[in-house]
Amino acid sequence: MTVNSGPLLKMFDYSLSELSTAERLAIPSPDPPLAEAHLPLAERSSTREYIPVCEPDLDPSVTYDLQKCVDENWISSGGRFVTEFETRFAQIIGTKHCIATSSGTTALQLLLAACGVSGGDEVIIPAFTMVAVASAVVHLGARPVFVDCSPDSENIDLDGILKKITDRTKAIIVVHTYGRPFDVETLQSNVDRNRVAVIEDVAESHGAKLKGRTTGSLGYGGAFSFYANKIITTGEGGAVTTDNDSLASVCRTLRDHAFSLERHFWHRYRGYNFRMTNLQAAVGVSQLMQFDKLREARKRIAARYSEALDGLDGVILPVEDEETEHAFWVYFIRIDSDTLTRDDVRLELANNGIETRTAFIPLHLQPAYREYCDKNENFKHAEHLSATGLYLPSSSKLTSAELDYICQSLQETIRSLLKSPFK
């Protein structure tokens, strides 16, 4: 069968040859290939051939709740586990409402839609973040406005936000990047909250706190992801949190095709199918029951890394301050040295069976979103983070032996590369 090359297929017919030399040079190098572990187990402190950067930490009791879904023959949305998950999660975050969704991306898009974001509007977002933030904006017909990172943080720069606000600004999305809380309170004190909605992307900061308040309760609304690599997971899934009754009501309506209560199959508004299933929620309830344990495990891992890597030449560690409590979704470091590169370190760790992950490629360098950015605009901090950053294995399931092995491998790798005459 022959498929005609229509407009949609042509849209994806993308080639680097179409880019100018300058544009090609601006695209970061791909991740180096991960070599297979070559050290025998007898020579390691770790007990695994390969340590992944992240993996789910599921309690065995989850099978009991999943079996309940099957026994009760309720596996789609609207089951009792969805209600229980929403109630429990709202209590943990400290908000009046939680609206469970099918993913973090749909949670963010639902929240933007409920705030009235549409064609012609502008939404300020970080240049250094996951692409889902930009896609949620663009799919509503709005324009993403990129802002660079703060010079001393992976988070969006506060002064940069304020400079980008215009009459068309409808919302500002702040991401608590890698688990480090952004100062939402200071931002909200500097914007007209009756006109501009401050939205938190809390995908990476489950349980993080700013001045004692949990992320997801600080802005007009929060959007969570429960993807498999998150601190709390439902496999795929997300949620909106808010204290605003009207916003919560609109989110619940739009989440379910905007079905009307006044008449069956009657729709006054254009909604979505962004629902969480009962099966996903059952996994989520089990996760919430061990939330404190999962958070403490992340803190334990971060403390061990900080202790082992502090003072190591060329390695910049994550920063905490007195007013924040870092979630440490992942332990993000930077390799910033004239004599070795992030990719050198990453490849050596891979040879030792340790997976790492490079930092985000900034949105202004993405082919899909270049049209929203002035080519002359500078995002030097985002680009520097992208070129030097990586995160280490951070699963709450990591054992002390595995942590010791990772720390020892990283110490030996850095010292060896710094001494190498070929660097």
Q: Report the CATH number that the domain containing residue 341 is assigned in CATH.
A: 3.90.1150.10
- 259 and 113: one domain? yes
On whether residue 23 sits in a domain, the answer given is no
Q: How confident is the model at residue 47 (pLDDT cuts 50, 70, 90)?
A: low
Q: Do residues 95 and 45 both lie within one domain?
A: no
Question: Which amino acid appears at position 273 of this protein?
Answer: N
Same domain, 185 and 46: no
pLDDT at 420: 59
Question: Phi and psi at residue 121, in whole multiples of 5°?
Answer: -80, 160
The residue from 289, 323, 346 where one domain ends is: 289
More confident residue, 36 or 82: 82
Both 262 and 367 in a single domain?
A: no
Indicate which residue of 163, 211, 230, 293 is catalytic: 230
Q: How far is CA 179 from CA 33, 35, 101, 122, 284, in A?
A: 27, 29, 21, 26, 20
Residue 288: which of 54, 61, 97, 70 has the closest Cα?
Answer: 61
Structural domain includes residue 108? yes
Question: Does the residue 8 lie in any domain?
Answer: no
Tokens 């802005």 map to which residue?
219
pLDDT tens-digit map of 378-401: 999 999 999 999 999 999 999 999
Average pLDDT over residues 252-269: 92
More confident residue, 294 or 19: 294
Could you tell me if 102 and 242 lie in one domain? yes
Asked whether the beta carbons of 217 and 93 are under 8 A apart, the reply is yes
- Say how far apart CA 363 and CA 340 lie, in whole Å: 26
Judge whether 215 and 222 are in contact, CB under 8 Å: yes
Contacts for 268 with CB less than 8 Å, ≥ 6 apart: 258, 260
- Residue 29 scores a pLDDT above 90: no
What is the C-alpha to C-alpha distance for residues 184 and 174, in angstroms, rounded to an integer? 8
For the chain, the distance separating the N- and C-terminal CA atoms, rounded to the nearest angstrom, is: 54
Whether residue 9 lies inside any domain: the answer is no
Phi/psi of residue 382, nearest 5 degrees: -65, -40
Q: Is the pLDDT of residue 172 over 60?
A: yes
Q: Is the pLDDT of residue 411 over 50?
A: yes
pLDDT at 46 over 60: no
What local confidence, expressed as pLDDT, does residue 300 receive? 97
Supply the pLDDT for residue 264: 86
Domain membership of residue 10 (yes or no) is no
Q: Mark whether 52 and 78 lie in a shared domain.
A: no
Mean pLDDT of the chain: 90
Q: Tell me the CB-side half-sphere exposure of residue 365, using CA atoms within 13 A.
A: 23
Judge residue 408's burial from the number of C-beta atoms within 10 Å of its C-beta, 0-12 exposed, 13-18 middle, 19 or more buried.
middle
pLDDT digits (tens, 9 = 90+) for 357-376: 999 999 999 999 999 998 88
Q: Distance between CA 188 and CA 165 in Å, rounded?
A: 13
Q: What is the pLDDT of residue 181?
A: 98
Same domain flag for 311 and 370: yes
Q: Are residues 361 and 339 in the same domain?
A: yes
pLDDT value of position 32: 46
In whole angstroms, what separates CA 346 from the centre of its chain? 21
Which of 266, 289, 312 delimits the end of a domain? 289
User: Are 235 and 132 within one domain?
Assistant: yes
Domain range for 363 is 31-56+291-419
> pLDDT band at 12, cuts 50/70/90?
very low
Does a structural domain hold residue 187? yes
Question: How big is the CA angle at 192 (ends 187 and 197), to the nearest 5 degrees?
Answer: 70
Closest CA to 350 of 29, 43, 38: 38
Q: Which pair of structure tokens corresponds to residue 2? A: 């022959």
Using the 3D structure, point to which of 289, 318, 345 is the last residue of a domain: 289
Please count the other Cβ atoms lying within 10 Å of the Cβ belonging to residue 314.
Answer: 20
Residue 1's pLDDT is 42
Share of residues in the chain with pLDDT > 70 (%): 88
Of 176, 93, 101, give the one whose Cα is nearest residue 133. 176
pLDDT at 31: 52
Helix (H) or strand (E) holding 382: helix 380-388
Q: Are 146 and 251 within one domain?
A: yes
Residues 343 and 264 in one domain: no
Q: Residue 248: how many CB atoms within 10 A of its CB?
A: 21
What single letter denotes the amino acid at residue 306?
A: S
Position 201 in a domain: yes
Q: Is-contact 395 233, C-beta < 8 A?
A: no
The answer to the question of residue 96 being in a domain is yes
The average pLDDT across 125-146 equals: 99
- pLDDT for 261-313, tens place per residue? 888 899 999 999 999 999 999 999 999 999 999 999 999 999 999 999 999 99
Task: Identify the burial level of 321 via C-beta atoms within 10 angstroms of its C-beta, where 0-12 means exposed, 13-18 middle and 19 or more buried.
Answer: exposed
- CATH number, domain containing residue 126: 3.40.640.10
pTM: 0.90
Look up 419 and say whether it is catalytic. Answer: no
**Tally of structural domains, the chain:** 2
Q: What share of the chain is helix, strand, coil (3-state, %, to 5)?
A: 40, 15, 45
Over the stretch 318-358, which tens digit does the pLDDT of each residue have? 988 889 999 999 999 999 988 889 999 999 999 999 999 99
Tokens 């601006």 map to which residue?
A: 26
Question: Is residue 13 scored above 60 in pLDDT?
Answer: no
Is the confidence at residue 39, as pLDDT, over 70?
no
Instruction: Report the DSSP beta bridge partners of residue 239.
Output: 100, 224
295 and 200 co-located in one domain: no
